[in-house]
């Protein structure tokens, strides 16, 4: 394992009109090169312009390595495939947040800390009465997580490690409970309290599917599939929601407020909301007699806003390794359950058709993590509106790890600049003369 980041002896030379500037070059532990432009404005008056941050490194980070050209994803140096095979979600969360895989004592103590906090304050339950029955669970999740800050005012100091630690445990423990309650609310069933004798994933399924009127025992295959899905979603370096969490956290906003903002960012269909949008799209294609070519043509048509959901990625220009893991698991689960889901067949047909099409080949658009995840969630009986909520539960350790790393590195408030394109100074015109 090598993890050094060097200020390399290389420099980049930038010429702007009559000024020439030497800029330091930073090289990451995997050889990635970044040109440090932080002195550019003070030396030249110019800023860099990179709309949508396509080419901007916002931070140095030791959490996740991603190589989109080669389809590589590693958490703290460990390949995602290895973690998916050998770890459970809480071990993976520990790895992301604390930097090392836990020893058995550390794992036991972490699990105990999480179990200790699984219940919601009874007063929080009354929030759910205020939401309409058909409220989207992502809206509920974001609101209730934000509201945790009103209940735990004793742990809001972002510079106090003990307060941060208890907030981390509370968030990881309570997010599944908050999520399951939002589902119960939507179907008019009573909330089911967490059961601490169960594992993290078993407990979530228990809160989702058991009722006071009957027994429920989670199918071990379901638990395994859920565990895997949470692991592959656990971090993805500086994606939209993680950057949001870092951005909000950089103002020294508390962890609950920062995570609540991240949940909002994840909700969008171009990000985590793609899993819900993808299943809706696959259902539509299935109803349309499985006519995948029609939808591939629509996605290529520049006059049409339609995109193939679950396809394409800002960073992956090759197969998304998470999609490969999920597709294999999906195949296995459907076979084990002896389920023939027409959506899975449509998804496979759509993938084959798109990957043969020069539009998708030239733009390097492959299925991403959200393409097959919805098919597994359906097989587990999870309603479609809950798909992005599952993504949020999975992504939580990544958000926390980045928030923590940012504070540990003593980051300054994040504050991008802009190139102003509005009117230059104008004289005020009184209302009767406009």
* Distance, CA of 128 to CA of 186 (rounded, Å): 10
Write the CB contacts of 309 (distance below 8 Å, at least 6 apart in sequence). 269, 274, 277, 278, 280, 281, 370
Planar angle of CA 172, 198, 121, nearest 5 degrees: 50
* Distance, CA of 74 to CA of 383 (rounded, Å): 30
CB 69 within 8 A of CB 30: no
Nearer to ligand CMC, 24 or 68 (CB): 68
CB 228 within 8 A of CB 329: yes
Segment interacting with ligand CMC, rule: CB under 6 A, options 110-118, 195-203, 253-261, 268-276: 268-276
In whole angstroms, the minimum distance from the beta carbon of 269 to ligand CMC comes to 6
Q: Scan residues 103-142 and list those touching ligand CMC (CB under 6 A).
A: none
In whole angstroms, the minimum distance from the beta carbon of 208 to ligand CMC comes to 23
Beta-bridge partner residues of 7:
26
Site for ligand CMC contains 239 (CB under 6 A): yes
Nearer to ligand CMC, 64 or 258 (CB): 64
Q: Look up residue 124 and give its DSSP letter.
A: G
CB 101 within 8 A of CB 64: no
Segment interacting with ligand CMC, rule: CB under 6 A, options 8-16, 221-229, 267-275, 335-343: 267-275
**Coil vs helix vs strand at 319:** coil
Binding string to ligand CMC for residues 201 to 230, with x set by CB under 6 A, is what? ------------------------------
* Distance, CA of 253 to CA of 262 (rounded, Å): 13
Q: Scan residues 397-426 and list those touching ligand CMC (CB under 6 A).
A: none
Which one from 117, 313, 402, 407 is the annotated catalytic residue? Answer: 313
* Distance, CA of 275 to CA of 375 (rounded, Å): 9
CB nearest ligand CMC: which residue?
312
* Distance, CA of 198 to CA of 233 (rounded, Å): 22
Nearer to ligand CMC, 149 or 239 (CB): 239
Name which position in 76, 185, 271, 404 contacts ligand CMC (CB under 6 A): 271
Beta-bridge partner residues of 356:
none
- Total binding residues toward ligand CMC, as defined by CB under 6 A: 20
Nearer to ligand CMC, 292 or 365 (CB): 365
Which one from 88, 117, 370, 402 is the annotated catalytic residue? Answer: 370
- Biggest CA–CA distance in the chain, Å, is 79
Q: Scan residues 278-337 and list those touching ligand CMC (CB under 6 A).
A: 299, 307-314
In whole angstroms, the minimum distance from the beta carbon of 298 to ligand CMC comes to 9
**Catalytic site residue 370?**
yes
Nearer to ligand CMC, 102 or 262 (CB): 262
In whole angstroms, the minimum distance from the beta carbon of 342 to ligand CMC comes to 21
In whole angstroms, the minimum distance from the beta carbon of 382 to ligand CMC comes to 17
In whole angstroms, the minimum distance from the beta carbon of 251 to ligand CMC comes to 24
In whole angstroms, the minimum distance from the beta carbon of 347 to ligand CMC comes to 13
In whole angstroms, the minimum distance from the beta carbon of 249 to ligand CMC comes to 19
Nearer to ligand CMC, 195 or 314 (CB): 314
CB 277 within 8 A of CB 311: no
Write the CB contacts of 124 (distance below 8 Å, at least 6 apart in sequence). 144, 147, 151
Nearer to ligand CMC, 201 or 308 (CB): 308
Residue 10, Ramachandran bin (φ over 0: left; ψ between -120 and 50: alpha; else beta): beta
Binding string to ligand CMC for residues 353 to 392, with x set by CB under 6 A, is what? ----------x-x--xxx----------------------
Nearer to ligand CMC, 274 or 396 (CB): 274
Residue by residue, DSSP assigns 168-234 as: HHHHHHHHHHHHHHHHHHHHTPPP----TTS-HHHHHHHHHH-BTTB-----HHHHHHHHHHHHHHS
* Distance, CA of 322 to CA of 327 (rounded, Å): 9
By CB under 6 A, name the binding residues for ligand CMC: 236, 239, 270-272, 274, 299, 307-314, 363, 365, 368-370
Q: Which residues are catalytic, by number?
A: 313, 370
């Amino acid at each position: 394992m090598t993890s050094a980041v060097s200020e390399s002896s290389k420099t980049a030379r930038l010429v702007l009109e009559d000024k020439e500037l030497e800029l330091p070059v930073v090289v990451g532990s995997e050889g990635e090169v970044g040109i440090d432009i932080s002195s550019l404005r003070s030396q030249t008056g110019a800023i860099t312009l990179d709309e949508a941050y396509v080419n901007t490194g916002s931070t140095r980070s030791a959490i996740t390595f991603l190589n989109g050209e080669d389809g590589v994803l590693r958490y703290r140096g460990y390949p995602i495939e290895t973690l998916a095979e050998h770890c459970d979600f809480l071990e993976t969360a520990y790895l992301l947040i604390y930097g090392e895989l836990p020893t058995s004592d550390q794992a036991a103590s972490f699990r105990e800390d999480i179990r200790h906090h699984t219940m919601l304050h009874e007063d929080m339950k009354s929030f759910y009465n205020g939401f309409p029955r058909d409220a989207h669970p992502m809206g509920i999740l974001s609101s209730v997580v934000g509201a945790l800050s009103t209940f735990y005012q004793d742990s809001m100091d972002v510079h106090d490690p003990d307060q941060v630690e208890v907030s981390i445990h509370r968030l990881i423990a309570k997010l599944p409970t908050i999520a399951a309650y939002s589902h119960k609310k939507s179907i008019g069933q009573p909330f089911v309290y967490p059961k601490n004798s169960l594992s993290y994933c078993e407990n979530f399924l228990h809160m989702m599917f058991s009722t006071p009127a009957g027994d429920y025992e989670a199918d071990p295959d379901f638990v395994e599939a859920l565990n895997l899905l949470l692991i592959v979603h656990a971090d993805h370096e500086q994606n939209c929601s993680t950057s949001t969490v870092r951005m909000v956290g950089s103002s020294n906003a508390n962890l609950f407020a920062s995570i609540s903002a991240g949940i909002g960012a994840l909700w969008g269909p171009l990000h985590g909301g793609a899993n819900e949008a993808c299943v809706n799209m696959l259902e539509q294609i299935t109803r349309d007699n499985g006519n995948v070519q029609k939808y591939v043509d629509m996605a290529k048509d520049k006059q049409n806003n339609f995109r193939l959901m679950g396809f394409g990625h800002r960073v992956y220009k090759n197969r998304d390794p998470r999609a490969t893991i999920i597709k294999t698991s999906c195949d296995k689960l459907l076979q084990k359950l002896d389920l023939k889901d027409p959506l899975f067949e449509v998804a496979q047909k759509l993938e084959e058709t798109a990957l043969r099409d020069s539009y998708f080949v030239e733009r390097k658009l492959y299925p991403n993590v959200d393409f097959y995840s919805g098919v597994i969630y359906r097989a587990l009986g999870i309603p479609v509106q809950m798909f992005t909520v599952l993504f949020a539960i999975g992504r939580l350790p990544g958000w926390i790890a980045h928030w923590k790393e940012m504070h540990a590195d003593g980051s300054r408030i994040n504050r991008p600049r802009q190139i102003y394109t509005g009117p230059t100074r104008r004289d005020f015109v009184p209302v009767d003369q406009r």
